[in-house]
Amino acid sequence: MRTEMKKQVRDKVLQGFDYSEKISDEALLEEIDRVVSVEARTTFLPVEEREELRNSVYNSIRGLDILEELLCREDVTEIMVNGENDIFLESGGTLKKWDKAFESGNKLNDIIQQIVADANRVVNEASPIVDARLKDGSRVNVILPPVALNGPIVTIRKFAKDPFTMEKLIGLGAISEEAADSLRRFVIAGYNIFVCGGTGSGKTTFLNALSDFIPQDERIITIEDSAELKINNIKNLVRLEVRNKNSKECTEVTIRDLIKAALRMRPDRIIVGEVRGPEVIDMLQAMNTGHLGFPSCLHYFHRRNHCCCLRLLQLPAQI
């Protein structure tokens, strides 16, 4: 499919709408089909190319442009955009370069602003780094120039539609039944558990699996940079997410702030998605005053092919 034709069709489709009215997806697709049919009269397009052009134009208007194709592929676990021309993906544990690119730097910037706006975040030259998430829960990290020297950098971590359970992990040989049973007992007893590992080692996945052992009658509060935890068996669940300071002069809300606030919300357990900074002090202070059941992720750097490890920590009421 030719990039120039895609741009031409998209421009004609957008010209055919009155933006004072809300445009439904069905109306948009009908207009795309009409314009594609007109174009096909002058330029021969096989059926496959027409379908690809239709989807591509729709995604460039309503979706994340060419990234939508990768987001729909279940085999892709990570998407790495290094500027408008270089896109890499991780599939089956292997990194490879994709043969497609954004039509322009402006289009990539538009997609970035769309992503962060949907997550109620802000990214610009004054604040060039942001963490956000997509509607499907995928985690997004964005770094803009001048911090990023080779153009806007976007990294998307996709998560499985069906979360890994402890049973699945046992079936895959990632953990033994004996170890899983021991962890179940630790969780029920209220042990403070830290799941440790580097980027991509499966910390959040394992923490989600551990959460299935939490008794359903407890009050759980989760605290995260970007909400990724999927806890499905708890009815009394409170989900908290940090807020970055932005151009609207909103007050910054950090993980430390949320931990202090959570301690006043009568929690049975507080789950911190990832601990990477001074918030560990507040966690240790809370444990020292008798608050137990702190499952959390601790981050450290190592080679990516190392396994995620787990350390159990039970602090006494008084040190």
What pTM, to 2 d.p., does this model score?
0.72
275 located within any domain: yes
254 and 135 in a common domain? no
Give the CATH number, domain containing residue 97. Answer: 3.30.450.370
29 located within any domain: yes
Q: Identify the helix (H) or strand (E) that includes residue 80.
A: strand 76-82
132 and 114 in a common domain? yes
319 located within any domain: no
Q: Which residues contact 122 (CB under 8 A, 6 or more apart)?
A: 116, 130, 244, 246, 247, 248
172 and 115 in a common domain? no
Q: Is 122 helix (H, G, I), strand (E, B) or coil?
A: coil
Residue 253 backbone phi and psi in degrees, to 5: -120, 115
81 and 52 in a common domain? no
178 and 55 in a common domain? no
Q: What's the number of domains the chain is made of? A: 3
228 located within any domain: yes
Q: Which residues contact 178 (CB under 8 A, 6 or more apart)?
A: none
70 and 55 in a common domain? no
Residue 25: domain span: 1-62
98 and 55 in a common domain? no
Domain end marker among 159, 176, 202: 159
175 and 154 in a common domain? no
260 located within any domain: yes
318 located within any domain: no
What does pLDDT average to in each consecutive run of 10 residues of the chain (319 residues)?
74 73 78 80 77 84 89 92 95 91 92 90 89 87 94 90 84 90 89 78 84 90 85 90 71 87 88 80 74 58 42 39
Report the candidate in 181, 197, 176 with the shortest Cα–Cα distance to residue 275.
197
Task: Output the pLDDT for position 317.
Answer: 36
Domain end marker among 133, 159, 185: 159
Report the candidate in 240, 234, 204, 202 with the shortest Cα–Cα distance to residue 217.
234
97 located within any domain: yes
Q: Is 317 helix (H, G, I), strand (E, B) or coil?
A: coil
193 and 299 in a common domain? yes
55 located within any domain: yes
Task: Output the pLDDT for position 239.
Answer: 93
Q: Which residues contact 273 (CB under 8 A, 6 or more apart)?
A: 204, 207, 222, 223, 224, 225, 227, 228, 229, 296, 297
Task: Output the pLDDT for position 312.
Answer: 42
Task: Output the pLDDT for position 280.
Answer: 77
250 and 123 in a common domain? no
Report the b/e string of 208-230 with b at 16+ CB within 10 A.
bbbbbbbeeeeebbbbbbbbbbb
145 and 229 in a common domain? no
17 and 143 in a common domain? no
End-to-end Cα separation, the chain, in angstroms = 67
Task: Output the pLDDT for position 298.
Answer: 56
Domain end marker among 127, 159, 191: 159
Task: Output the pLDDT for position 18.
Answer: 66
